[in-house]
Structure 1
């Protein structure tokens, strides 16, 4: 059981080091700590008392993983949709003749101002990223059809 506690501590360190805990919530941290405490208690000869926190953390982790699978972001609309193209161009401040470099430059300029780390919102940053993807896909299709 001491090995299990050590394994959980190593797992937590690995998750932090690789950056996989960027979207970790306070509840995630509490559950991770609870799992470590449960593993330590089980290792010290209290498997019943230590098993409860481990089981609770495992149930939470399973629910969280199944919820994140169901909540995948929707795919960007098809670039052939003229209204989506117009909206994407308006959002990035581009005209219909913008090339891929202009699209990327406009995206970089706008995302720097609206990124959540700069005081913007996650929803707006996602919308800007989606607009960039739509316009880049359209520019690729347009340049491929003119070749």
Structure 2
């Protein structure tokens, strides 16, 4: 009785630590870590089932992986819409012919790309795009603090 409870507590603590770590790191790095962990857990579970003769458990693992894959693909779609964020740690120095940048270093063009809007977008469209992306990426809902900060920076740049 005590061993299964201790295992559940340990797994919950590990998941809590992992999600805390993932929220503080770049989404590309986090995706690689999650893919590696998923593959490792799959290999470990499959090996366990083969060694114990419980191959029927593979069907349950397959169903669980299908759900995980669907969520991963949805997360990838969100990431794809935000790709290009943070490709460089610091923006290059702006030349006199480059796009105007604010003190934070984000150009209007980059801010529009982050929010997925065109140059003709009005204030309402900017706010709607920001709201839509923040609903999917807010840290309180499991999103990345880094992405949320970039979304806020893009909104502020376009509304200034």
TM-score range, shorter chain: 0.3 to 0.5
The TM-score normalised by the length of structure 1 is: 0.37
**Larger relative helix fraction:** 1
Higher relative contact order (CA 8 A, sep 6+): 2
Please give the TM-score of this superposition, normalised by the length of structure 2: 0.34
